[in-house]
């Protein structure tokens, strides 16, 4: 363990996942929801691959 802490940590995480699956325990992924009550949202993809978001109120 002391000479390969990364490998130990990886094995520990996989063992934890196996036990959780055996007991049918699911860990949800983080989720973010955006609720717009009014207005407009414009998404513009730029040539460099980035996305520009513009919000306009009504």
Instruction: Write down the pLDDT at residue 56.
Output: 77
Q: What residues are paired with 43 via a beta bridge? A: 53
Please say if the pLDDT value at position 2 is more than 70.
no
Instruction: Write down the pLDDT at residue 23.
Output: 92
Instruction: Write down the pLDDT at residue 31.
Output: 83
Q: Are 57 and 36 in contact (CB under 8 A)?
A: no
Instruction: Write down the pLDDT at residue 22.
Output: 94
Rounded Cα distance between 2 and 6, Å, is 9
Q: What is the pLDDT of residues 19-55, one digit of tens each?
A: 999 999 988 888 888 776 777 888 889 899 888 888 7
Q: What is the pTM (predicted TM-score) of this model?
A: 0.43
């Amino acid at each position: 363990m002391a000479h390969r802490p990364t490998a130990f940590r990886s094995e520990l995480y996989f063992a934890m996942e196996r036990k959780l699956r055996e007991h049918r325990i699911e860990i949800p992924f983080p989720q973010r929801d955006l609720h717009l009550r009014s207005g407009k949202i414009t998404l513009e993809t730029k040539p460099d691959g980035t996305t520009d978001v513009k919000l306009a109120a009504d």
